[in-house]
Structure 1
Amino acid sequence: MNEISRGRAAVTMIFAVHGAALGAFATRIPWIRDQLELDPVALGAALVAPAISACFTMPMSGRVTRWLGSRRAITLMSVLLSLTLIPPVLATSLPLLWLALLAYGAATGIADVAMNAGGVDVERRHGRSIISGLHGSWSVGGLFGSGLGDYVRAVTETVERLRRDPAALSDAREAGLANAGRFPLSRTADLLRELSAELTR
């Protein structure tokens, strides 16, 4: 793989990872709403914060990219963007959530422009249009991130429900024993027996 192909693969991966991060974060919005007991108006006011801060930071991204260089700017802003996904989940009030989302939007604004600038640079060296493919990888990453985030949410809710409801835990154990009886030679059956033994200790 030559340098141009490596550059294209790297930028494609960055777009996909950014899409996945946004997709995963989107699945936490209902949880944040429930934790802070936000009504639709308050939630909408919070979610407009990233757009506001991104409008202010996007014009700065050109200077940041020129100062650091495209590769370093993309790397730095990817790290910062990942870090800004944490505070919104930890916010304990609407004002703190608003501030956290302002920081997230600011990082997103610079990261988006830096990524696209990197994509244009690779496209110029590649000699043909690749920007649409990069945006496609962002969409694929978003689908993957949202799917993974929703799966984690479902597992977390199930574990929490089993922890709070002993009857549901007993039902799960009985279902596991029934499945083990139907498929006695399978590896799944062995695992279910082990789980059953752990639950009955």
Structure 2
Amino acid sequence: MTILQKRRLALGSLFFLAGLCFASWASRIPDIQLKFQLSEAQLGTLLLGLPVGSLVALPAAGFLVHRFGSRIVILMSGVGYLVFLPLIGFSPSVWILVPVVMIYGMIGNMMNISLNTQALGLEDEYGKSILASFHGLWSLAGFTGAGIGALMIYLNVLPGFHYLFISVIVVIVLLLAQGFIRSDLQNGGGGGGLVLKKPDGLLLRVGGIAFLGMMAEGCMFDWSGVYFKKVVQIEEGLVALGYVSFMGAMASGRFITDRIINKIGRLPLIRISGGLIFSGLIVSVLFPIPVVATIGFLLVGFGVAAIVPIAYSTAGRSKLYSPGVALAMVSTISFFGFLIGPPVIGYIAELSSLKTSFTLVALAGLGIVGLSSVRLGVFSE
């Protein structure tokens, strides 16, 4: 293996690790709810701690990556996973659990920004698109983490000891990978500092595309099962089919995204992706029968797959800001899409119907097509 290939393997293992840690936490949420006897509302408040922590960390993440380099932030975040994941499992009270979950959310976003900054530097050295494959590994880790979680539940392993097992994996991966994660302190041009400035035209456009993509992704994460149960009216044992088809398509789509980008370019693929999101949701709304709806959700998964990797890759090449700061800006904008999408679906469904909600989310796909088709000069500024 060449040194570039070794660095790609090391960085890929860290993306996988980040996805594994997130999925491991999520797989034991029902057990944590049971441990503390939380109501649905109380659990919802606890779960809000993760995105709140992520949002709080966004401005600082870009600054830290710019100031200290992505390597240092990656290693610090890895140590954070090592410490705070077991703390979630062993927390003796909700009063301790809530701030621990918030800090865990902060760590996750620090890792996200620093890993993507490092990946953009490696992508430049390769001279071709490779970022999406890293995001594919993150998605693949979600399936792996869910599988390990299911096994731990079957074996009656308490969440704290489950998380300790994951921490052992964190230590092994960090020790093996750290030698191939390079320092990039002198690598990024552009401005640094806390992300309190207005994004330029490029980052606003890319952020808007990522916002719409993440809004569709968040809705699919949270509402796929409900849609298949209430609208498609599939039998109880197959309620998760929509979610699994969406997730499977998104994960596999990310492994072929780079190849497609290298052949047709980023903007054409964004337009195709927006079209897939729109057509997949419209098909699912017009023909809410199991086979057709499943195909529709597959199309949405393939459509969502490329949006965030392309947005990050484009943002990281901003001429006005350093990669870490540019990524933090776009992440901030897109993150709101992920947060507000699911509750908006619920409010609209309450006023009208789930079909109406999903139709409006389908318009996000058309928005992506529009933003990537007009005033294209902004992408070369």
Taking only aligned residues, the RMSD between alpha carbons, in angstroms, comes to 1.4
Is 1:77–1:111's contact at 8 Å kept on the other side of the alignment?
yes
- Give the equivalent residue in structure 2 for 1:21: 21
Find out whether 1:71 has 2:71 as its counterpart: yes
3-state SS of paired residue (1:129): coil
Q: What does residue 171 of structure 1 align with?
A: none
Report what 2:82 is aligned to: 82
> Is contact 1:78-1:111 (8 Å) kept?
yes
Deviation sequence 1:57-113 (CA, Å, 0-9, x none): 121112222333222221221121232112221223322221111110111111111
Cα contact 2:18–2:108 (8 A) shared by 1: no
Partner of 2:104: 104
Structure 2 match to 1:119: 119
Q: How does 1:47-196 map to 2 (within 5 A)?
A: 47-156=47-156
The answer as to whether partners of 2:61 and 2:113 remain within 8 angstroms in 1 is: yes
User: 8 Å contact 1:70–1:117 — kept in the other structure?
Assistant: yes
Which of the pair has the greater relative contact order for Cα pairs under 8 Å at 6+ separation?
1
Structure 1 runs of 4+ off > 3 angstroms? none
* C-alpha distance in 2 between matches for 1:71 and 1:102: 23
* C-alpha contact 1:24 1:147 (8 A) present in aligned 2: no
Q: Classify the secondary structure of the residue corresponding to 1:47.
A: helix
CA contact (8 A) 1:24 1:148 kept: yes
Partner Cα distance (1:125, 1:70) in 2: 16
Q: Deviations over 1:151-189 (max 9, x none)?
A: 0111126xxxxxxxxxxxxxxxxxxxxxxxxxxxxxxxx
Tell me which residue corresponds to 2:30: 30
Task: Tell me, in whole angstroms, the C-alpha distance in 1 between the residues paired with 2:61 and 2:126.
Answer: 24
Partner in structure 2 of residue 43 of structure 1: 43
CA distance in 2, matches of 1:27, 1:131: 26
CA distance in 2, matches of 1:60, 1:22: 21
TM-score when normalising by structure 1? 0.74
Choose between structure 1 and 2: higher helix proportion.
Answer: 1
Partner of 2:10: 10
Q: TM-score, normalised by structure 2?
A: 0.40
Larger Rg: 1
Deviations along 1:22-79, one digit per CA (max 9) or x if unpaired, are 1111111111100000010000000011111111112111222233322222122112
| Deviating more after overlay: 64-73 vs 44-53 | 64-73
Distance 1:142 1:78 in 2: 17
What is the deviation of 1:8?
1.2
> Shift of the alpha carbon at 1:138?
0.4
The answer to whether the Cα contact below 8 Å between 1:64 and 1:73 also exists between their aligned partners in 2 is: yes
- Of 133-142 and 86-95, more deviation after overlay is shown by 86-95
Question: For residues 58 and 10 of structure 1, what CA distance do their matches in structure 2 show?
Answer: 24
Number of residues of Structure 1 aligned to a counterpart in Structure 2: 157
Match of 2:248 in 1: none
